Structure 1
Amino acid sequence: MKKKHLFNAALLWAFLSLTLWTTGCSDDDGYPDVDGQAPSIEMTLEHIQTANGRTFTLEGTIKDADGISTIQLQCTDLNLNKTIDLIEIYEKPLETYELSYDFKIQPDEIGEQFTVKVTVTDVGGRTVSQDVLVTLDGDFEDPVFVIAPEKGGMVTVLLREGEIPTLNMNISITDDRGLDYLLVNIEGIEGYENLKIDADGEKAFEHSFNITMPNEKKDYPMTLTAVDKTGKSTMIECTVSVTDVQDFEKMYLADVATEAELNSDVFGVPMRIDHVGEFQYQALYYCQKANTEIFFLPQKTSFSPVCYGIDPTDEAMLTDDPALAKPIVLTEANVYYKININILLKTYEMETYSLAEAVDPWPASMKYGLPTMDKWNNNSGEMMDFTFGLTSDNPTGVVSFKQDATNPHLFYNEPMSLTAGESMNFIIHNYHTDQWWNFVRWCSDTEEEPEIFGYYTGSAFKNSNYTGPTTTQDVWSKPKVTVTGTYQFWFDSHLGRAKLVRVN
């Protein structure tokens, strides 16, 4: 009996030894233990602040001397369940791995915070986990001036007889998280040198100024700075010019009623008109609706401090005072108006011309949407549909415009969703199946703030009767979207004017 007990004990010891050796090794054959320790995780951030519709990144350094087998990322509330199998990817375990995994929060996510569990397993089956807190309170956007003087522009205060020169200025600012303050600095104007105005954490902030200026011709540098609660800021530098009648470099036609409408577009509102002589401007404008009301402005973003409209004391004349100016009323629909104004004499003249009289820059034989375009421009007789639209790459990617049912010179596209902070990149070009054929092409005057779309002189198809704007510069428009929303593009091929405006 004694020998039998000794034999059984020896068998038991051999079995336990084998079991311990198997447990201390990897479940995967060929991966022996090095230190037998669990993996280590060092996440770059344990709290990630993001926002709806944005992508966040789980980053960190993972180490294990025995070899990392898998990394699992889990968050049920975000429908995140990702396993990164390093042996499958690299055909071997890794001792060090730099985790970098992107995940996009859905735009309609209603939750406010989430926990992502990061679990690492090594070849020995040992695991370690770490939680990462994800909250939707990130601040990624700088404050936006919705209504403010144009950056780098001129704010004109006109010296009027018998009146105290006053800078009337409306400021509207938004921020996705909350505004801290507005800082106003007008050099040389007492009370407005580094004037700080609290915004109290509001996401939308408005303030109106009525600033008395010295009664003398002089320019004053002005800086407006909006600062949000996280310290992000946006600055506008411009000049306040106190002067008498000024021959403005630019003038605009406004066919909207409010300053909010003046500033709700990406570009094109108000519409730039032509400076045809000293103190003289000419507007060519398509009137879609009878009794459309318009004003003329030397500044893009506000009806103040200068606004040209009908003088109520003499309706044959203009006034530049926004407090007095009445709108010029365009009574006829579906015609083009030619309006000449002289801001020195305060006079204006108007006449109309028909849609049939309006000339496009391509040959009259080419009809939009019909097979009237010589495909290879070699008189081979092979024709294709003549269309054009926006492209960000090449003519095969052109999304062709629709032509207005009433005005054949007016074109538009389907509404598009644009995101704040997004920079566009496009020209207007004909559609073609075979890359670059510059049959018709329009380029803008500037990249970031396009105002005039000139017909590219290198275009193959030309109408000698066309007198609209042209350009030799191959400028691609790159305007920046300031407010997320749905927008529609409108283009007038006769006028060479386009606008990208909000759709309600």
Structure 2
Amino acid sequence: MKESRNIYALLGFFFLALTFGCVEEGFELPDSEARIVNPAVTRALPGGTAQVSASITDPVGLGTVGIQYAAWNLNEQIDVAGATSYDLQYELNVPAEAESGTSHDIVLAVTNTNGVSVQDTLKLMLNKDTDGPAIINNTTTGIVFMVDGNDVTLDLKIEDTEDIATLTVKNEIFSDEVVINAVSFQYKQNLNFLKAGIYDFEVVATDVSGNTTTEVVTVVAQEPFEQMYLADVATDADLQAALMGVPVRTEATTDAQLEGKAFTARYYNAAAGTEVRFIPQKDSFAPLAIGAGDAAGTLAVAGDASVTPIVLSKVGYYEIAVNLDDMSYTAQTYTPEDSSYAYTMVMGTGVKVNGASTCEQNADPSVTQCWHFKSGKKLTKSESSPYRFSADLEFYDQDESRDNEGGMILGANESGWSDFWRFDNGEEPEASVRNGGTNFNFTNDQLGTYEFIFDTHLNYVRLTPKK
């Protein structure tokens, strides 16, 4: 009986060993296939490159990753044997002869260590966007008058053929960044300006392909202006060199609603094609210059003389009205109706008119008689306008024993004082004053030769260094 139990035990061990041996010899790897996550291919253009990407995993183990497209003889095989995960980043070269605007099916094939294959098809579009988003600026152009308590709204529309990634708007007082992820976006931001100035906002729009567009949006914030000038020169140096008449003074409106916002200039245009701009400061085109806008009759602003000028196409008298509230202007010619003078003359001391001294009596040049109508020297009358007179004036030191004694007035009567003209300001005149005003006095550092223009219709005087 004891021997029988031993025999049964031996048989049990035999069959157990046989069973385990069969399992070892017939062992099979578990069923599995690769997973392809987030497969993608970027758009491209003929002759360019496209990026193929995917995350690939298989717990059994990966074998090869293939990128295939028979039409382009593409059969790239990447050996990743043993890895259980692989991050595919493959740069695909597009043939130059490929046709723009077409689509192509790129096959992504993955085989694991079991020899099990899976594949995915990626559609490659040959219409890559190389342009940045369009920035459409609907912000109010021109001048925002701070006295009105006006906010200004930055109003921008951003558009692209693919998703816009981000929009950044910034300058020294403001910064904003928006994540968009859409093909169109409307951006509006209210801003309140506490200080006058020209504010440039840098606007940067970037799409999902990394294409970028940058534009500058300018907002001009100003207090109402106390004065406005017409400038028919183009440099600060010319503005500063003139002793009178440059720039040309304008008249402010009497409309209370437009006080400080609307001005009118009367101006004689001596040559067709004269370019003029308007400036609120007398000696410079900075920080603000006003000129012509893109549309007829509209105004534009800039921080210097780069603003497009208003062009006066005809010779003659103009009335130019600018409205800075609605950024418009009109420029109309007109014909004066007032009486003209047969002649006008300069009287004074330390002045030569076309070489003749105003201190030499006309009847007897040996007699010194300054500041007198009997020694007044006539200006040259214009052939194009009966109201305009001109001459070369030389300011010189009449009496070396005295400093800054030179000066002048104007007259139109060799036999008496009436009519005469003096000036609205004795040091920096902007206009003549008929039968009134103040003598113009020049200093020793202003000695030299000047071109002088006098217009009796406009009461305009212009004195600029002779070139």
**TM-score, length-scaled by structure 2:** 0.45
Q: Name which one, 1 or 2, has greater alpha-carbon Rg.
A: 2
